[in-house]
Chain A
Amino acid sequence: MSNCDTIRLDLDAYVKGLLPTEEMRPVASHLESCPECRNALIQLKQVAAILHKWEDITPQAGFIEAVNEKIDELGIHDSINDHQEVNLFYRFRYALATAAVLLLAVIIWLANTKPPESTRLISLNSGTLSVQQDNQTREAATKGTYYINNDTVMQTAQTKAVLSLADQTKIEMDRQTVLNITEPSEKSRGNIRLHQGSIYLDVAKNPKTLYIETESGRIKVVGTRFRVNHLKYNLPARPADASHSGGPANRQVPESVPNDDGFRITTVSVDEGAVQVEWKNSVYPVKPGERIAFSISIKPTRFDLPAGDNMANKADYLLGLLKQFSEGNDFDNASAAEAILASFGQEIIPLLMGIIKDEPSGKYNPAYLSRILSRVGSESLYPELEAVMKSSKYYIEYRSAAAETLLGINQPRGAKILLNIFTNADADTRKLCLATLHNKPAIGAENTAELIKILVNLIKNGENRDNPLFNTAVEALAGISDNSGLPLLYELLKNETDYRVILSASRAIARMGDKSDREKALTRLYALAEDKNDLVKLAAIKTIMCLENTQGKQRLANRLVDIGLASSDPKVKLACLETAIILGDQQAFELLKDIIAQNNSDLTLQAIQKIARMTSSDTLSGFAVEMMASGYYDLINRWKRTQESSALTLAGQITHSLEGIKNPRSLPIIRGLLDSSEPDLVLSAVRILANIGEKEDIFTLRTLLIRVTTAGSPAGADESLRAEINTAIETLRTTLDFRDE
């Protein structure tokens, strides 16, 4: 039994492949013999898949600015020490008129900061470098000669840069690569420290050795051409081999912010000559055409795809390789997979395309296939990708991967292709097109205009809301992310009459635009909120509430209740009620009264059910219980007045729903119900407390018992109530003891 408990602690790591091999075996052999743990394992896997249905949200643009505004409001900006020094630097920098002067200044500055003997010259042949020294960053312009010293950290941002050292050794730095170069000595030419990213070296012949160091180990070189990747979560713009052939200049690169936490893998691939990897006192030679991967804790391992055409073999080999690299380290498997796969460059393309076309088991994550393909692939893949994307004979997941890759390689061109496909496609393919184009920030002005046109038409013709394309189109219009579409969206906002189009367009504008854009969208929505049609009003108000700030929302709440009271449409009333409760508006009580007064059992029942569902929300639970209690009094009073049995049935519905409450956040209000004048409500409260009460409720219930026994109130229900309270106390005591254990 205790064995199971220890095994179970490791199951989560086991499922994710994070367990070191030596710990994997006992888990695996225990699983063989223990059906219960096997079951637990299956549950973990299944629950992981479902949990990932809850996707990330994208923070609004302007987040950084908002933080800065808040900091400035606090007025602490000026009190930071060292601030003056930094400021001086910036003032100095802005004062410089031309890049040439700036360059000169950098050289002078760099040369002056360290003793002359440790400085050396490097040339920057192309690209832009940011140079960091003594914790200050300076931009260096392209081309020129610079003095550097041991502490000069050179970093590329979004473009490549090519450096050459004094002996004509060339270093090609990929995007987002960070390195520094240390001082030469009698025996060595100095070391290149690769902190992150990817470099390609063309090393000049020289009797002295050159070392490339990474966190994982070091690589000894005499004269040769080879590549070193030192990668973790993110890959450089182009992987090893693809950067040789040179991709199209306007190619879109998926966002990649270097993330510095966690595990890194170094890979080395040699084109010419030979290098040696030195790792923990052992030497591993690497010859031309060979690849080797290593990390701090994993010894250098050669890897290559197995020869032959058997795709499954190759894929399984890669999976095995990835497992091996995940041993003993808490890191994201997928990133290592990307690093290794990308180091194959274009060689990996046939394998990935093969998986997309033929792989039936679904063990490869399509999103992840498309990310790698987007990096290593080029537009020559387009015909093949387009064919997969269009044909229903492939799995929808992999078709989606193909569509994403179309955009990943070149967003404007890919978008154009998808829009072409859209015109002559079946409903599934059309949906796939729209879902892929949703939220893509750089599809280009022309494509955005075309897309908006298509979406507006779809929405306007979407009278039948069951048409699956209608909802997708509404979402997609709201998800337009290419700024070039803003003018068109404004036009829609001004001239469009279909309120559904306006709603989606204003959501997109508010998401993309700045504060003033948001204001404009809101103005239009407020106008829409005056519409004659209740549903339009309501939709506008719901959208406003999504865009407004807190005060704005509160102002709106009143309006909402007025609409609800005035409308004769039950749907509108219900929606208003729901939103008013979400807003925590006291007038929601009025609205509920009004609904009950309609004398429409169906409507009332629906309202009760809606409120009952809200009790499971942490924030709304207490309020919802109060609403239910209030509804109960209304119904009981109505029954007392009119003797309508339907009122009594509905009141019974309320107590029934109440007793299903599981959320401890409603406890304070439930305790309040114990003082109610309605015996049935008291009874329900007692039952709820028996289920979810806390320690203090034993005391509360005892007090109630005494009160009921001595005062004989509430009348008529004494006997059964006393029994119920006693049972509740017992139940509560047992469950609390159990919970304490």
Chain B
Amino acid sequence: MKETNQQVPVASGEPRPEGRDSVLVKQAQKGDRKAFNALIEQYHKAIVNFIYRNINDGSRAEELAQKVFVRCYLNIKQYNQQYKFSTWLYTIAVNLCKNELRDKSRRPRNVELTDLIRTPDVTSASPVKALADKEIREKVSRAVQSLPEDQRQAIIMSVYNDLPYKEIAEALKTNENTVKSWIFRGKQTLFEMLKGYVNQNK
């Protein structure tokens, strides 16, 4: 187990520092904005992208991610150190995404412009395939979006945010096996939708 207390005992009866995060969280709980900003710095990209892939709207995703951190700041004293700080952030983000999608489906007219401008980080391999990639990217985002909510969130967390099953289960308030089955079924559906692109993707 990662969380054992034995190997790195800590002096003065303080709980074992989980490292940088818990130090920062403690400082933030005391009202230290610098520490809180360091936490934002560390997690904002992951949270923005998590929301972006849920709602497929980059600028709205940023607004919502800001909301996540504001909420986090307001409630930081209630944060329970038994969970990872990041898990807690994802829990907030999941709820905001749910609200957003629900509200959007209620007022279908009042929509945001899908993000045309944001060019994804181009650090990956082959620029020669850049154009074909763009098309595939759109197909992928559409396919992911069409998944049922639970499957979609589990898949985004697992595939794009690289979270372990345990953390996904905690953030989605379920157990690991359920998460695994959501991911498996979701990926099967995605395969059906995207199999036309398999061969272009050597």
Residues of A within 8 A of B (CB): 8-13, 18, 40, 43-44, 46-60, 63-64, 66-68, 70-71, 74, 76-77, 80-83, 85-86, 132, 135-137, 150-151, 153, 155, 178, 182-183, 193, 195-196, 213-218, 257-263, 296-297, 330-332, 366-367, 396-397, 400-401, 404, 428, 431-432, 434-436, 438-439, 468, 471-472, 475, 478-479, 507, 542-543, 545-547, 550, 553, 579, 582-584, 586, 616-623, 662-663, 665, 669
The 4 A-B residue pairs whose C-beta atoms are closest, nearest first, are: A330-B164, A435-B127, A546-B117, A55-B120
CB proximity of A207 to chain B, nearest CB, Å: 24
In the complex, what distance in Å separates the CA atom of A429 from the CA atom of B45?
31
A63 touches B125 (CB 8 A): no
A351 to B52, CA, bound (A): 38
In the complex formed, the residue of B with least CB distance to A69 is B66
B173 within 8 A of A: no
Extra contacts besides A57-B61, A150-B12 (6): CB < 8 Å: A51-B159, A56-B121, A215-B7, A545-B113, A617-B56, A665-B108
Q: Sort chain B's interface into a size bin.
A: 35 or more
Chain B neighbourhood of A546, CB < 8 A: 113, 115-118
Given A53-B137, A137-B35: A543 touches B125 (CB 8 Å cut-off): no
Q: Once bound together, how far apart are the Cα atoms of A547 and B142, in whole Å?
A: 23
Q: Is B201 located at the chain interface by the 8 A CB criterion?
A: yes
Contact of B7 among A132, A218, A261, A478 (CB under 8 A): A218
Which chain B residues border A67 with CB–CB below 8 Å?
40, 66, 69-70, 73
- Is the CB–CB distance between B197 and A50 below 8 Å? yes
Does B166 lie within 8 Å of A330, measured CB to CB?
Answer: yes
Q: Are the CB atoms of B108 and A620 closer together than 8 Å? A: yes
The verdict on B86 contacting chain A, using a C-beta distance below 8 Å, is yes
How far does the Cβ of A509 sit from chain B's closest Cβ, in whole Å? 12
Residues from chain A with a CB closer than 8 A to the CB of B53 are 54
- Residues on B with C-beta less than 8 A from A367 are 123-125
Contact B160 A74 (CB under 8 A): no
Chain B neighbourhood of A438, CB < 8 A: 119, 122
**In whole angstroms, how far apart are the Cα atoms of A662 and B61 in the complex?**
25
The interface of chain B, by Cβ under 8 A from chain A, is: 1-2, 4, 7-8, 10-12, 14, 17-23, 26-27, 30-35, 37, 40-42, 44-45, 48-49, 52-53, 56-58, 61-62, 65-67, 69-70, 73-74, 84-86, 101, 104-105, 108-128, 130-131, 133, 136-137, 140-142, 144-146, 155, 158-160, 162, 164-167, 177, 180-181, 183-184, 187-188, 190-191, 194-195, 197-198, 201
Which residue of B is nearest A431, CB measured? B127
Task: Please name all residues of chain A whose beta carbon is closer than 8 Å to the beta carbon of B48 when the two chains form the complex.
Answer: 57, 59, 63
How far apart are A444's CB and chain B's nearest CB, in angstroms? Answer: 19
In the assembled complex, the Cα of A617 lies from the Cα of B166 at a distance in Å of 31
How far is it, in angstroms, between the C-alpha of A132 and the C-alpha of B30 when the chains are bound? Answer: 14
Would you give the shortest CB distance from B156 to chain A, in whole angstroms?
Answer: 10
Asked, given contacts A43-B188, A80-B31, whether A400 binds B131 with beta carbons under 8 Å apart, the answer is no
Q: Which residue on A lies nearest to B21, using beta carbons?
A: A260
Shortest Cβ distance from residue B132 to the other chain A in the assembled complex, whole angstroms: 9
Contact residues of B: prevailing secondary structure: helix
Chain A residues with CB under 8 A of B69: 67
Q: What is the bound-complex CA distance between A479 and B187, given in angstroms?
A: 32
Please state if B146 and A663 are interface contacts (CB–CB under 8 Å).
Answer: yes
The listed residue (A83, A331, A400) touching B127 by CB distance below 8 A is A400
A137 with B27: CB separation less than 8 A: yes
Query: Is the beta-carbon distance between B191 and A400 smaller than 8 angstroms?
Result: no
* Distance, CA A218 to CA B40, complexed state (A): 33
Are B19 and A135 in contact (CB-based, < 8 A)? no
Chain A residue contacts of B159, Cβ below 8 A:
48, 51-52
Whether B19 lies near A51 (C-beta < 8 A) is: no
Could you say which residues of chain A place their CB within 8 Å of the CB of B74? 71, 74, 76
Contact of B8 among A77, A132, A193, A258 (CB under 8 A): A193
Q: A80-B31, A619-B104 are in contact. Are A151 and B12 (CB under 8 A)?
A: yes
Chain B positions within 8 Å of A54 at CB level:
53, 120, 137, 140-141, 144, 160
> Which of A86, A218, A616 has a CB less than 8 Å from the CB of B146?
A616
Contacts of B30 in A (CB 8 A): 80-83, 85-86, 135
Are B130's CB and A621's CB within 8 A?
Answer: no
A47 touches B124 (CB 8 A): no
Q: Are A50 and B7 in contact (CB under 8 A)?
A: no
Write the nearest CB–CB distance from B191 to chain A, whole angstroms. 4
Shortest Cβ distance from A618 into B: residue = B145
Assess the A83–B121 pair: CB atoms within 8 A: no
| B102 → A minimal CB distance (Å) | 11
> Which chain A residue has the least Cβ–Cβ distance from B117?
A546
Check if A550 sits within 8 Å of B125, measured CB to CB.
no
Contact B34 A478 (CB under 8 A): no
User: What is the CB-to-nearest-CB distance from A311 to chain B, in angstroms, rounded to a whole number?
Assistant: 21
Assuming A63-B40, A435-B122, A619-B108, is B188 touching A40 (CB within 8 A)? yes
A545 nearest in chain B by CB position:
B113
| Contacts known (A67-B70, A83-B31); A47 close to B184, Cβ less than 8 A | no
